[in-house]
Amino acid sequence: MNANEQLIHHFYTCFKNKDYNGMQACYADNATFSDAVFKNLNSDQVKAMWQMLILKGKDMRIEFGQISASEKAGKAHWDAYYTFSATGKNVINKIDANFEFENGKIVKHIDDFNFYTWAKQALGTTGLLLGWTGFLKNKIQTTAMANLQKFMEIK
């Protein structure tokens, strides 16, 4: 396992152990993060996001694998199992992660998952009927960013 593969493995091991400090230490000061819900987060925001998700996701568990990396880029697959707090519905989110590295740290992290599949699980009938629309996606993104901002203000 090369150094960047070890970094990815360490990141997800920390995640699995709910060690947000360990996860945060994997990111460079200029890191960025994006996924279907959280768009274009800066380093402070992404670090706070993982802390928030771990602290609020009491029953969250993850599994990870398929790690590969070169000197500049890497990828992994991970599955998240949790209860979506807004509805109480169980979610299994299958995620492909892509990374870019500089100086032994993550500088770019993009998680890719099927938003419609997630919405159907997390929101039930609403997700089934509206999960494919930009309206619902924008509403989820806006709510998630507002929750992150509130979390950052009180932490």
pLDDT of residue 58: 87
CATH code: domain of residue 123 = 3.10.450.50
| Model pLDDT, residue 109 | 99
What is the span of the domain harbouring residue 45?
3-154
Residue 30 has what pLDDT? 98
- Domain count for the chain, please give it: 1
Map the chain to HEC letters: CCHHHHHHHHHHHHHHCCCHHHHHCCEEEEEEEECCCCCCECHHHHHHHHHHHHHHCCCCEEEEEEEEECCCEEEEEEEEEEEECCCCEEEEEEEEEEEEEECCEEEEEEEECCHHHHHHHHHCHHHHHHCCCHHHHHHHHHHHHHHHHHHHHHC
The pLDDT, as a whole number, for residue 69 is 98
Which residues of the chain are modeled with pLDDT < 70? none
Q: What is the pLDDT of residue 33?
A: 99
pLDDT at residue number 138: 97
pLDDT of 124: 96
Q: What is the pTM of this model?
A: 0.95
